[in-house]
Amino acid sequence: MTPAEFVLPPAKESRALMLAAASAVILAAVWIFQAFGYAPCELCLTQRYAFYAAVPLALLTAIASRFTHGLARAGFALLAVVFAANAALAAYHVGVEQHWWAGPTACTGGPGSLDVSDLVKAVNSSKVVRCDEVQLRIAGFSLAGWNVVASAVLAVYAALAARL
Q: Give every CB contact of residue 51 below 8 A, 6+ residues apart in sequence.
A: 23, 24, 26, 27, 86
Write down the domain spans for the chain.
Answer: 3-163
Distance separating alpha carbons of residues 142 and 63, to the nearest angstrom: 35
Q: How deeply is 126 buried, as exposed, middle or buried, from its count of CB atoms within 10 A (0-12, 13-18, 19+)?
A: exposed
Choose the weakest-confidence range: 57-61, 112-116, 144-148, 154-158: 112-116
Q: Is the pTM of this model over 0.75?
A: yes
43 touches 148 (CB < 8 A): no
pLDDT for 29-62, tens place per residue? Answer: 999 999 999 999 999 999 999 999 999 999 999 9
Q: What is the distance between the alpha carbons of residues 162 and 155, in angstroms, rounded to a whole number?
A: 11
Assign domain 3-163 to a CATH class.
mainly alpha
8-state DSSP, 130: P
What's the confidence (pLDDT) of residue 106? Answer: 73
